Structure 1
Amino acid sequence: MAQYTPMIQQYLSIKAAHQDAFLFFRLGDFYEMFFEDAVRASQILEITLTSRDGGSQDRIPMCGVPYHSSAGYIKTLVENGHKVAICEQVEDPKLSVGVVKREVIQIITPGTVIDDHLLQDRENNFLASIEKDNDTYGYVLCDLSTGELKGYTYDGNQLSFIQLLLSHGVKEIVGNQDLYDAWTNTVTQTGQASVSIQEEDSVDSQFDHLVQTISDPVLLRASGRLFHYLTHTQKRSFHHIKAVEFQQNDKRMKLDAFSKRNLELTESIRAKGKKGSLLWLLDATMTAMGARKLKQWVEEPLFVKETIEKRLQLVENLIGEFFIREEIKEQLKSVYDMERLIAKISYGNASPRDLVQLKRSLFSVPVLKEKIKGIQGKYALELHANMNEHKTLAHYLDSAIHDDAPIHIKEGGLIKAGYNEQLDQYKDASSNGKAWIASLEQQEKAASGIKSLKIGFNKIFGYYIEVTKSNLSQVPDRYERKQTLANAERYVTPELKEKERIILEAEEKISGLEYTLFLEVREYVKQFIPGLQELASAVSELDVMQSFAAISEQYRYVRPTVSEEGIVNIVNGRHPVVEKVMDAQEYVPNDIVLNKERNMLLITGPNMAGKSTYMRQLALTAVMMQIGCFVPAESAELPMFDQIFTRIGAADDLVGGQSTFMVEMLETNFALTSATENSLILLDEIGRGTSTYDGMALAQSIIEFIHEEIAAKTLFSTHYHELTVLEESLHSLKNVFVSAVEENGSLVFLHKVIDGQADKSFGIQVAELAELPEPVISRAKTILQTYENQEKREALPIQEVSATKEEDLQESQLSLFVEKEEKANRRDNKEQELIKELKSLNVLEMTPLDAMNALYKLQKKVR
């Protein structure tokens, strides 16, 4: 250290305590970085790498970013999974002796960002703290920008747990050294989150009030670890953090990471964006906090009938009160993101405009309360009761802060007239003083006869009287020369100097007093934080409910019935997202019936016919009901599912080093080992990733296990038509198929699911639709015909054929000829029977569906 200058020594000592972060070291108007930080940052931020003399023999690498535009650079580093330690001067350079004292005032990490530039308005930014005890994980999710704190427990393996955490949208995971060593590579390779170390896991006394309802020791240690990490990185108090809300497993539907992804609840599989997801469909919210609440509900549906019914009733009532709903929607547009405004106030970095936004939001609350009062139902009454108008605070802010206040708190113009008497006196002195000077200019012109005389001001010389040189002979003796210019002279008078003193003193005091008063206003608001958070929660819930009502009315959704007998009876159900992206008139609805006698559906049919859509349709309908929304159907009765397991679609986990088939088996294993009789299982094409016989054997074994051991509601789609015989031996399994027909050699998908089984997969026809080269299609048809005509008899070994006597060979050929003739006769007889059956049909008395079924049966016999 001795070889470096005192300033570089200071930098190195501070950097030694923050090795895992980029140190933004404040020097004047810049944040500077040195040594390895500078080299790495210059590459990531694409800024110039320079060097400086630091006292050593070699020059030190250096780069920097302007203080006033640092937010964008910090955002880039954080989004790339890095931490940034902000090191500021903590004493006045004018008063310091030697090197100015500097300290790290905050460490910005991916999971602790609170600046608007670093956040997505309609998404949470979660930090997860982890603790493990044998096979049980305890974890706490914290969104520092909203104050939310949620606790969970989970039993399962490490890989499934990591997937679950990432499915929450976690940006950073905090654990002890052992967890860091075990998880870093797996988590960081996904690019979704970073991993940090925090060993201390006891709950400090200052946070006791946040864990009063928590008794689980694993969850307590996870909470303690989180609090220590926040204290270390943020270095301030946390008035806005709410008590840990334990998410009880028996009160919510459990959705593993695989199912959330496969069902495309919050993002589409292909585009990895919101569009095309269930969240995209349901989001007609007016506020950012409403959008975040909706996302949380979609990811964690309810398993409490009373709450589900309460929400459904409010949706029904809102649909029935169109004009009230529209007025609520319009009023919500005036509500800002109160949750994040509250966090800024708690943090001590709320701007004047933030307080103006809070005031405007509060002024919208009385109107919202009045409108919700007109809606019937228990839930509406609860929301009304939780909407504290905070009139005292709203009027206080209105009296204190200018509506057009600037963003920065040291620019002046923050405080309204009438709020503080001393400030009003200073402002009066300043404004009257300037008016006096304007009047003085006119008086001096008249007294001296100098029409070009003017009074001006600059920061160096203050106020002055300026006279051009051509008029110097007319200057009164009482003028005191102050400055000589090329074409003019500047003067002052005792009166002007006195007024200058009063005006400048007033303006200086105005700026300082306004800053002090604003800090007092901001501090005053802190006492209202708990009540404001309760209000924000009620407003966000109302926003979600009006969104449900608007979407349900727009797309003709119906209120579902919650079945207590485990019955699924959906009439003309639709896949909500598919219906939205295509012409609704072209969408083919389908019934879904599941009960004790029909607990498992084995679905066959060609590719692209809609098997996966049919399966997802049921799951999404269940999710929609259990978040309290109406569902896409003519009528619907569903039970509450405790869990939904899906295996739909194929995807390699290249980062994890797992093939498509391995991913398939892992997801299937999770379903088989976790499902209960109250669960819903959706399995699509299980076994297709291996050989035909292996796959078929696995598929049948899985079907039998679910049927006999779990008894969960199950939809199982397959191309293994041989499995359809299981309907005869498994009493709760029923065959259904998605119909399709061939017309003039082309495949037509009917998208209608009917009872029975498909006897053909139409794979080649689908390949034709995909426009594979004609030679490939033609050759495939030839090979398929060969396979279909091949008899199930053992082939004669080659060496035996060469040794066969001529008469034996002739006898064999004769036998084949006779066999072919018999087949031809049977075919002729079958055709006669088909003609007779066709003539017996009374087409005029048949419905379109009856005609389609009859045609299908005839076609099946022809094949």
Structure 2
Amino acid sequence: MSTQLTPAMRQYVEIKSRYRDCILFFRMGDFYEMFFEDAIRASRLLDIALTSRDKEANIPMCGVPYHARNAYLSKLIQQGCKVAICEQFEESGGRGLFRREVTEVVTPGLVFQEECLDARGNNFLAAVRFRPPFAYAALDATTGEFFYEACASGEGLADALYLLSPAEFVFLEGEGMPLPEEAGGTRGKLGRIVEGKLTTSLSPAAVDDFLIPEGLTGMPGGDHPVHGVVRAALYYLHLHQPAALAEISRVSEKEGQQYLAMDETAVRTLEIFSTLSGERRGSLLWAVDRTRTPMGARLLRAWLSAPLVDAGKIGERHGAVEELVAAPADRKDMGERLSGMADLSRLASRLAQDRSGPRDVVALASALEILPGIRELLGTAVSPLLRGARDRLGDHGEAVGKIFAALHDQAPLGMKDGNVIRPGYDPRVDELTHLLTHGKGMLAEMEVRERERTGIPNLKVRYNRVFGYYLEVSRSHLERVPDDYIRKQTLVNAERFITPELKEFEAKVLRAEEERNAREEELFLALRESLKGYLPDITRGSEAVAEIDVLLSFADLAAANAYCRPVVNLGRDIVIENGRHPMVEKILGRHAFVPNDCRLDPRETQVALVTGPNMAGKSTYIRQVALIVLLAHAGSFVPADEAEIGVVDRIFTRIGASDDISRGESTFMVEMRETSRILSGLTERTLVVLDEVGRGTSTFDGLSIAWAVAEYL
């Protein structure tokens, strides 16, 4: 069949053969075209017309405009596709085929286009070992975050991945989805987490041969169970986005015992990140999020995902929040400065990967310019957390000065738009810009001069992209056209001409524009390269901003809603006075919610049995206690008048029940399985929240089960 194809189509087929697992965006003029199976698939996913390139050969084809590429790319990425972007370059000697080559492979977990990213959320690629010993490595290439965790069981792995919510999964051949007996019955649970996401198996030999970047710190040893998944994540990044490896400088271990554990059921039923119907509005994150920056929003989610269990570290967060609550003027000033700050973390990542355009670099400087003011406002901070964050903000005056000395404040997105370099920075750019900007005046003078010379009152000097510069004369004055005018184009009501003088002017302007653009690009690339030396300080500053933003968010929340500072200690009591449900209170208003007390202690009230009629608020109350405990461990003040909370190591919930038809399990079976897991996994520091135990069977049997569970607890 290839012998019947045009040269361009043969070129397509050859390139596509190297990217069989991708949809190939093949640049042809102003469009990215797709052919054959790619066209059929993409037309369905993008809901665009499917046509044919050659009626005789009947080659399926569809395409998207180049300027709207990222919008269509986002749709494909969201549906789990991998896309290879093939660009078109200059013709060889001005003849023959355009040179085309793939410049980037975009996958759901390795995407850098802003249109494809959630500014307030991470975009993780997860390399997973689905077989014992269970482990995963999580990499967000847009921010440089990279960490790993070894999990004791398949249940633990499933819970970790549920919290992480990766955009894409990779695994080594032979380490894919486990057999039911290997995962402790969690194959279905893992399957639901992975379902609909792009998953790729990697050759162990290829991963082993891959050389780890020399500058990477924190790499686990070869005998560590996570070594393989860390290598797999780096190899996959190298395979599709090799430039992004420069941004990955460290990998760290996430030690589960340092954080309050929550399984998938607890995260879902407590509606921490989304409601049971999948909406953000109504979730805990929605209720407490007052962050101003994308970095802060991502860190807040991380803190809610992994609350601390070290009473000392929790107290440090509470102390920082208390100090900010006590300084409303400074808090307001800091909030105003942070509002609208660009995403420092992702801008730094783009710079490291040579993806930054002029506008990105100016945005980076504008963000860095805010940091000295924040540092000054924290100058008298007492809290160790605030002092540490203040010191990490850094001094970026040299980098900011370099950027603003070189670039226009309103720099364009890309180099092709011109007007990148600030006047006075480079004499040659100034000279060429002067020629271009004063060209209009020179044309106006030429127009006046030619009108006087020819006596044609409506003679015009004009320009278009097809014909360049020309003189336009209406048909009624054609007899006055001098002999040195050369006819260029005939219209219905006018004729267009050129002259040697106009042609010379055109050549001079075009040369000037090309030379200026080339010189501006040279200067910009040199500037961008010189800024890479500041990246470690910028990254530290970005992390400090995120921490300050979250603490500021907690302080604003506490001040606006009369939250109190909880006392978190090593005891085992949970004492809450006039507690409120954070989400219900935000929806109804503070004064519409009736507060409630709670007292649990290992001496007299280890178990609280809540009874009442339907719609009395029992479920709201028990969720409220769990949410207050979670917020306290995350470092936030809590919605109560007073609260004393002993450190909790994990939160278990069993709220509501429904059958799981896909696994052949009845409501009763689901309930018993969840209850069994809770009873076998709890410790003396575990908070257990059970709602309507034994509902999935008869009244007598249900009461017996509930009684037995209460006695065991």
* TM-score, with structure 2 as normaliser: 0.90
Give yes or no for contact 1:106–1:235 (8 Å, CA) kept in 2.
no
Alpha-carbon spacing, 1:489–1:569, altered in 2? closer, same or farther (3 Å): closer
One-letter code of the match for 2:373? V
Question: Residue 78 of structure 1 corresponds to which residue in structure 2?
Answer: 77
**Secondary structure class of the residue paired with 1:63:** strand
One-letter code of the match for 2:398? T
Q: Does 1:614 align with 2:621?
A: yes
Aligned ranges for residues 50-199 of structure 1 at < 5 Å?
50-53=51-54, 58-89=57-88, 91-95=89-93, 100-131=98-129, 134=132, 136-157=133-154, 161-180=157-176, 182=178, 187=191, 191=195, 193-199=197-203
Q: Does 1:419 align with 2:425?
A: yes
Give yes or no for contact 2:392–2:544 (8 Å, CA) kept in 1.
yes
Aligned ranges for residues 305-384 of structure 1 at < 5 Å?
305-384=311-390
Structure 2 unmatched runs, 5+:
179-186
| RMSD between superposed Cα atoms in Å | 2.9
- Return the offset for 1:358: 1.3
Give yes or no for contact 1:430–1:502 (8 Å, CA) kept in 2.
no
**Secondary structure class of the residue paired with 1:596:** coil
Question: Residue 852 of structure 1 corresponds to which residue in structure 2?
Answer: none
- Return the offset for 1:470: 7.6
Q: Does 1:596 align with 2:602?
A: yes
- Return the offset for 1:547: 0.8
Give yes or no for contact 2:311–2:570 (8 Å, CA) kept in 1.
no
Question: Residue 682 of structure 1 corresponds to which residue in structure 2?
Answer: 689
Give yes or no for contact 2:462–2:469 (8 Å, CA) kept in 1.
yes
- Partner residue of 1:582 out of 572, 576, 588: 588
| CA–CA separation in structure 1 for the residues paired with 2:13 and 2:425 | 48
| CA–CA separation in structure 1 for the residues paired with 2:172 and 2:146 | 20
Question: Residue 260 of structure 2 corresponds to which residue in structure 1?
Answer: 253
Question: Residue 230 of structure 1 corresponds to which residue in structure 2?
Answer: 237
Give yes or no for contact 2:472–2:494 (8 Å, CA) kept in 1.
no
| CA–CA separation in structure 2 for the residues paired with 1:273 and 1:512 | 49
Q: Does 1:543 align with 2:549?
A: yes
CA offsets 1:25-84 (integer angstroms, 9 cap, x no match): 223322222222222222222222222349xx8522222222222222222222122222
Question: Residue 552 of structure 1 corresponds to which residue in structure 2?
Answer: 558
- Partner residue of 1:520 out of 526, 529, 540: 526
Give yes or no for contact 2:130–2:177 (8 Å, CA) kept in 1.
no
One-letter code of the match for 2:166? V
**Secondary structure class of the residue paired with 1:178:** coil
Question: Residue 508 of structure 1 corresponds to which residue in structure 2?
Answer: 514
- Return the offset for 1:560: 0.9
**Secondary structure class of the residue paired with 1:123:** coil
- Greater length-normalized contact order (CA 8 Å, ≥ 6 residues apart): 2
- Return the offset for 1:574: 2.0
Q: Does 1:624 align with 2:631?
A: yes
- Partner residue of 1:278 out of 261, 278, 284: 284
**Secondary structure class of the residue paired with 2:112:** coil
Aligned residues: 697
One-letter code of the match for 1:333? S
CA offsets 1:74-98 (integer angstroms, 9 cap, x no match): 2222212222222234x52344886
- Return the offset for 1:413: 1.4
* TM-score, with structure 1 as normaliser: 0.75
- Partner residue of 2:228 out of 221, 225, 228: 221
Alpha-carbon spacing, 1:229–1:149, altered in 2? closer, same or farther (3 Å): same
Q: Does 1:691 align with 2:698?
A: yes
CA offsets 1:74-126 (integer angstroms, 9 cap, x no match): 2222212222222234x523448865444333222222222111112211121
- Return the offset for 1:386: 0.6
**Secondary structure class of the residue paired with 2:549:** helix
One-letter code of the match for 2:415? I
Question: Residue 48 of structure 1 corresponds to which residue in structure 2?
Answer: 49
One-letter code of the match for 1:196? T
Question: Residue 27 of structure 1 corresponds to which residue in structure 2?
Answer: 28
Q: Report percent identity of matched pairs.
A: 36
| CA–CA separation in structure 1 for the residues paired with 2:271 and 2:496 | 78
**Secondary structure class of the residue paired with 1:170:** coil
Give yes or no for contact 2:130–2:176 (8 Å, CA) kept in 1.
no
Aligned ranges for residues 807-818 of structure 1 at < 5 Å?
none
- Return the offset for 1:568: 1.8
- Return the offset for 1:515: 2.7
**Secondary structure class of the residue paired with 2:61:** strand
- Return the offset for 1:248: 1.4
Alpha-carbon spacing, 1:92–1:468, altered in 2? closer, same or farther (3 Å): closer
- Return the offset for 1:583: 4.1
| CA–CA separation in structure 1 for the residues paired with 2:628 and 2:189 | 37
Structure 1 unmatched runs, 5+:
707-863
**Secondary structure class of the residue paired with 1:93:** strand
CA offsets 1:792-836 (integer angstroms, 9 cap, x no match): xxxxxxxxxxxxxxxxxxxxxxxxxxxxxxxxxxxxxxxxxxxxx
CA offsets 1:134-161 (integer angstroms, 9 cap, x no match): 3x3111111222221121121123x663
| CA–CA separation in structure 2 for the residues paired with 1:658 and 1:531 | 54
| CA–CA separation in structure 2 for the residues paired with 1:673 and 1:642 | 15
- Return the offset for 1:500: 4.3
Give yes or no for contact 1:123–1:291 (8 Å, CA) kept in 2.
yes
Give yes or no for contact 2:25–2:34 (8 Å, CA) kept in 1.
yes
Question: Residue 573 of structure 1 corresponds to which residue in structure 2?
Answer: 579
Question: Residue 38 of structure 2 corresponds to which residue in structure 1?
Answer: 37
**Secondary structure class of the residue paired with 2:70:** helix
| CA–CA separation in structure 2 for the residues paired with 1:659 and 1:96 | 71
One-letter code of the match for 1:92? E
CA offsets 1:354-378 (integer angstroms, 9 cap, x no match): 2222121111111111112243321
CA offsets 1:592-624 (integer angstroms, 9 cap, x no match): 222231322233333332322222222111111
Q: Max radius of gyration: which structure?
A: 1
- Return the offset for 1:233: 2.1
